Amino acid sequence: MSGMLASVENLDEALLVLEAGVDIIDLKSPSNGALGALPVETVSRIVQAVGGRRPVSATIGDLPMEPQWVRQAVESMAGTGVDYVKIGLFPGGDWQQTVSGLSPLAVRGIRLVAVLFGDQNPGLGQIAELAKAGFSAAMLDTLDKQGGSLTHVCTQDFLRDFVAEVGAYGMVCGLAGSLRQADVTQLLNLRPDYLGFRGALCLRHDRTAGLDANAVRIIRRLVA
């Protein structure tokens, strides 16, 4: 059975999705990029308010694949007490050294989530490298939020293979990327561990607008 991840950008939104019964509360700043980061002070306040009632994840921002920068950002975000730290594997830079450089943090118990971008032609071979480095989870998302949902930029076969490959390495698998109500049934059939949403939960389906409580409830029912 797949769970629902809801991305929020402030405490009020976090409490709204908590009340709606989402499975993971994901903290990000949609106006600052695909994986825009919230200030660590804001993340800490939200973690304290949620109080362990749901797992909380947070992104480190749209950072280049530079090992030292990414590691510092991961350590800073992990210090807020979040359950998962999300790292986008953005184009350019040295993703292999960046990923392997995070292995000591995984050994320390920091649960790392890699975010690959379906509209950037990711290779399934990356998943083995993530597992070797100790990542807890891998998500498939989209980088260009105007380019259509994940189901439009990836074939069904690729999505199925991604879910199977992540599961084969014992990692948690998530699918996200401008998902809409029409995508839910198709993706649930692939049996990912989580489906992630932002735009579909917002007023006017604008990911930078505030959440719409009714839209959150509708998606929650569809996933459940």
The catalytic residue positions are: 28, 86
What CA–CA distance (Å, rounded) separates 210 from 12? Answer: 10
What CA–CA distance (Å, rounded) separates 117 from 33? Answer: 13
Structure-block tokens of residue 5: 């991840």
Give all strands (DSSP E) within 23-124, no chain letters: 24-27, 56-59, 84-88, 112-117
Q: Is 185 exposed, middle or buried (0-12, 13-18, 19+ CB in 10 A)?
A: exposed
Q: Report which DSSP code applies to 144.
A: -
Which amino acid type is present at position 163?
Answer: V
- Strand-pair partners of 127: none
